Copies of this chain bind each other. A is one copy, B any other.
Amino acid sequence: MTAPAHTSVDWVAADWGTSHLRLWPMGTDGVPLERIDSDQGMSRLNADGYEQVLLDLLAPYLAAETALDVICCGMVGSRQGWREAPYAASPCAPPSFDTATLVQTEDPRLRVHVLSGVKQLAPADVMRGEETQIAGVLVADPGFDGVVCLPGTHTKWVSLKDGAITGFSTFLSGELFQLISAQSVLRHTLAGAGWDQAAFESGCQQGAARPESLANALFGLRAGALLEGLDPVAARARASGYLLGMEVEALREDWQGRPVAMVGENEIAQAYATALRLQGASVEILDAQDITLAGLCAARAQMK
């Protein structure tokens, strides 16, 4: 069987994170031939498992006579990943293809490149994958002077000016929320799903105004359920709002008077956008996959 795309593949863009792998085989005309989504993220793989994943997923695109370039960003380049790629030190421009790490594969039909991450020494912080999204943001708007928010379990906030990362910070609010919801004494107080926008916004305001009271506000949800029958969906939204209100408050110096680019359109990104707008921030929402692919394409362009 010959895949229809076989003759026209030029290279492959790969976003390889902790829990997911996304591949875009790119045509010679610069347009993706398809998008391949896989759950073969770093957390499921040993170092010797990555190559086979690519061989399986990219089989229709491999040719005996030439090596197919695969340009990867993300946790694939971490110490626990396929091959550790270095960190550039912030402040810096997003690392270019020049500092990519070539991974030796056993199969000569693959030529895999892992892009560098970025580290910050004071205060200590790291990113892997988000630097490529930052490169994508800068493709669309080279002069962007503001903050990029990359929401997730560990949300990153990256300050940009003159085409460079001037500083960044990671907040594990999403992980805290998951632990509180599923593992704490509040697990019966907070609903597992559902949303109450008013309760969320009220939580945001409280978290911004009284961040030091987090551990009391959380217990108060349990007491509210006990004494007043607080609705579990409202309790969930309020807890989430409290954490995001704190986080947005912590970053006030970064976003005050500057635009925020929110990379992502899912529920978490919408919640962050609400929390920011409540405090008066100006937020533009960008498509995360478009941005990631733009960053990988920028690296490919530097390769030629």
Contact = CB atoms under 8 A, between A and B. Distances in A.
B185 A218 contact: no
With most chain B CB atoms within 10 A of its CB, the pick from A121, A215, A223, A227 is: A215
Contact of A121 (B214, B216, B227): B227
Contacts of A214: 211, 214, 246
A198 to B, nearest CB: 18
Contacts of A224: 124
Interface in A72-127: 79, 119-121, 123-126
Contacts of A243: 215
Contact of A185 (B125, B154, B208, B212): B154
B173 A184 contact: no
Contacts of A184: 172, 175-176, 179
Contacts of A121: 227-228
A173 B212 CA distance: 11
A54 B123 CA distance: 55
Contacts of A169: 216, 219
A248 B121 CA distance: 29
A44 interface: no
B170 A213 contact: no
B219 A125 contact: yes
Given A172-B185, A180-B179, A185-B154, A124 B227 contact: yes
A247 B119 contact: no
A171 B179 CA distance: 16
6 contacts: A121-B228, A126-B226, A172-B184, A179-B183, A210-B250, A215-B247
> Which 7 A-B pairs have CB atoms at the shortest separation, nearest pair first?
A211-B212, A124-B223, A171-B215, A212-B250, A124-B224, A173-B215, A211-B211
